[in-house]
Amino acid sequence: MSMEMTFRWYGAKYDTVTLQQIRQIRYVTGIITTLYSKMPGELWTQDEIHAMKKEVEDAGLHLAGIESVNVSDAIKTAGPDRDKDIDTYIKTLENLGKEDIHLVCYNFMPVFDWTRSELARKRPDGSTVLAYSQKTIDAINPETMFQSISGDMNGTVMPGWEPERMAHVKDLFAMYKDIDNEKLFENLTYFLKAIMPVCNQYDIKMAIHPDDPAWSVFGLPRIIINKENILKLMKAVDDPHNGVTFCSGSYGTNLENDLPDMIRSLKGRIHFAHVRNLKFNSPSDFEEAAHLSEDGTFDMYEIMKALHDIGFNGPIRPDHGRMIWDEVAMPGYGLYDRALGSAYLCGLWEAIDKEER
């Protein structure tokens, strides 16, 4: 079985891209989606999941997995509501399993999901991209960052940056005041051990997304950042249902991470892949390039080859695209450049596959 090319879709109410448009990309057969309005800790009912799946299938596409079922801060911090929230998470997984959905991407980042300092940095060709500069981040606090970012979202809501959450950013920071990397890791393994039985029962592959960027921001702990830590997590809960979303653009933020080597070391545990390129201007300033190897710093052929070599057969998706051709969409999640990315990745895969056969 080969990999499946997929596309992330936020649902008809939130996305500027339609399922009908995605269907015509041709390279893409699978959809990665979510119930975007659900807050962490909220139950997903079977009816809601069924309706979401039906909408995707009615458009001639396959629902390949969920990104994300978000984990509450109570679970991440071992707060008073931890066990209640884990129970709800288990019920949600059960409902997903009953609807024959077998892949769940999630993250364990404190307070913020991914972090960027700019959502629309202009490149020489006039396209715009998300970018990160450590100097900019060092000069601001999380609230000013949210304000400047929310002005650039093109009227969309970015995952992890929901206004409802950001209104409480100070309280969220307070919850993490005693949480260091070790505690966060313990809370993560506690969560995984609690959900493994239901994952086994319904064959649900959990795929943790790395922290982006792969280091601490605003003094918060960050653990899913490199080979050593991710292998430690695989061992701590040694069940194939405890797996990984291999995101080249997130692990790749740290130039010390050897991406093809990491992929090889995670054989059997990568359930989902996000493949994109980054262009570094310095080790602490990068921008999201086109997928093409030459446009950035990573050798995309070597990344795809490593996935092919370990027999990866799960969903792959192109990741953040540039804003091109005057598109107005959620930064990183427009139609055009991600469609180009999917075609490029499929081309690499076909070539590697034929070469090896």
Residues that bind ligand DNO (CB under 6 A): 67-68, 105-107, 113-114, 159-160, 209, 274, 332
Q: How far is the CB of 319 from ligand DNO (least distance, A)?
A: 7
Q: How far is the CB of 65 from ligand DNO (least distance, A)?
A: 11
Decide if 346 is catalytic. no
The residue among 97 and 249 lying less far from ligand DNO, judged by its C-beta, is 249
Q: Could you confirm whether 247 is annotated as catalytic?
A: yes
Q: Using CA atoms, how far apart are residues 277 and 335, in angstroms rounded to an integer?
A: 17
Closest separation in Å from C-beta 332 to ligand DNO: 6
Question: Which listed residue (27, 132, 202, 333) is catalytic?
Answer: 333
Whether residue 89 lies in the annotated active site: no
Between 1 and 269, name the residue whose CB sits nearer to ligand DNO: 269
Radius of gyration (C-alpha) of the chain in whole angstroms: 19
Q: Is 102 a catalytic residue?
A: no
| Three-class DSSP category at 181 | helix
In the complex, least distance from residue 151 CB atom to ligand DNO, rounded to whole angstroms:
18
Tell me how far, at minimum, the Cβ of 350 lies from ligand DNO, in Å: 25
Angstrom distance (rounded) from CA 28 to CA 6: 5
Considering the complex, state which of residue 158 and residue 307 has its C-beta at the smaller distance from ligand DNO: 158
Q: Is 319 a catalytic site residue?
A: yes
- Residues with Cβ < 8 Å from 345, sequence gap 6 or more? 5, 275, 291, 300, 304, 316, 318
Of 190, 175, 254, 253, nearest to 221 by C-alpha is 175
Q: Are 39 and 167 in contact (CB under 8 A)?
A: no
Whether the Cβ atoms of residue 10 and residue 36 lie closer than 8 Å to each other? yes
Q: State the Cα–Cα distance between residues 162 and 282, nearest whole angstrom.
A: 30
Q: Which is nearer to ligand DNO, 106 or 349 (CB)?
A: 106
- Contacts of residue 131, Cβ cutoff 8 Å, sequence gap at least 6: 116, 117, 118, 121, 285, 286, 287, 288
DSSP 8-state assignment for residue 93:
H
Question: Which CB sits closer to ligand DNO, 222 or 274?
Answer: 274
Do the Cβ atoms of 112 and 141 come closer than 8 Å? no
Cβ-based neighbours of 176, under 8 Å, separated by 6 or more = 73, 76, 77, 110, 111, 220, 221
Nearer to ligand DNO, 185 or 246 (CB): 246
Which tokens sit at 307? 């996935």
Residue nearest to ligand DNO as judged by C-beta position: 68
| Residue 353: CB minimum distance to ligand DNO, A | 26
Active site residues: 209, 247, 274, 319-320, 333
